[in-house]
Amino acid sequence: METIHSGSLSKEQIDFYKEEGYIVLPNLLNESDIAGVKEAMNQKVSQIAEELMKSSLIEDKLEDRPFKYRLAELFADLQADDFLKYGRSWRDRLPGYYDLMSNAKIIDAVESLIGGEIFSNPVYNVRPKIPKVAAGAVPWHQDKSYWPDANANPVITVWIPLVDANEVNGCLCIKPKTHRKRLLKWHQETTTGTGYTALSEKQLGKTETVVLPVSAGSAILFNDRCLHMSTPNNSDEVRWSVDLRYQPTDQDPMAAHGAGFLARSYNHPERVATLEDWLAERPEHENLS
Ligand SMILES: O=C(O)CCC(=O)C(=O)O
């Protein structure tokens, strides 16, 4: 008899997700779950500090400042463009990111929604949203607008803040039940120069907006057709977050966006990608010995 793999979510949580198009999992991850990803982010911040020093844009690398403040303070006296040169979101291939993307607590939750054959989609972003950079806010959109032609259903976004996220430093806002909508016609936003896909006010309809402040290590899972946005950062700290994505293995791997990886498989556990596979951009484990 075939074993049913049902993951970690309760029936109530699964029903909520199916009905509303999203679910919040408060405090899904603890400090040790996110230590690796924070280390990767710190590594990148140190590299940036080094470059800013070399270009004489700063006089102090602020090495002793806390994770939550350092990047914001490095750019405090600089222009938005100095920051945006490094990109508004990052997709480096550092071990800490694989560590998070393959975290069993995340994959267990995803398994409840799509089953146990799980592919980690190539689109993952680290978002260092710093104060006073307008491009940090993300307009209303459907994630699906970034891969309109991909035959990958469903793609589930797992959004995780590494600091407490709220309306002051920039949290997610969602329109529940909009995941049942078709892909809406979007335009490219022009006000902050990000080129983000955006929906116009009149496309948002009458659906209420739910604002989702969450603590560090919590996760918000949502369907890639669900309308969402994020507010600007009006605090003095960095709103650090990651957005990861998962889909069933029998869907389009969206290779045009990069190499995703097999994150869990009960049918072929020997093919699950290791860190070495991921670093080498191999979607599945290859025994090279
Ligand atoms: O992190 C944010 O501020 C926005 C994230 C988002 O829009 C997404 O993950 O699709």
From the CB of 138, is ligand 1 less than 6 Å away? yes
Cα 155 to ligand 1 centre (Å): 14
Predicted pLDDT at 70: 98
Cα separation, 236 vs 227, whole angstroms: 28
Helix or strand (DSSP H, E) at 95: helix 95-101
Q: Give the least confident one: 70-74, 127-131, 196-200, 212-216.
A: 196-200
Q: Is the CB of 94 under 6 A from ligand 1?
A: no
115: left (phi over 0), alpha (psi -120 to 50) or beta: left
List the domains of the chain with CATH numbers.
Answer: 11-279 (2.60.120.620)
| Sign of the CA dihedral running 136, 194, 178, 254 | negative
Lowest mean pLDDT among 131-140, 163-172, 226-235, 268-277: 131-140
Residues 6+ apart with CB under 8 A from 190: none
The pLDDT assigned to 194 comes to 79
Ligand 1 center–CA 4 separation, angstroms: 32
| pLDDT for the residue 1 | 54
Q: Please tell me whether the peptide bond between 154 and the residue prior to it is cis, using omega within 30 degrees of 0.
A: yes
pLDDT tens figures, 186-242: 888 887 777 888 898 889 988 899 999 999 999 999 999 999 999 999 999 999 999
Relative to the CA of 89, which ligand 1 atom is closest?
Answer: 1
Write out 187-237 in H/E/C secondary structure.
EECCCCCCCCEECCHHHCCCCCCEEECECCCCEEEEECCCCEEECCCCCCC
Indicate whether residue 194 lines ligand 1 (CB < 6 A): no
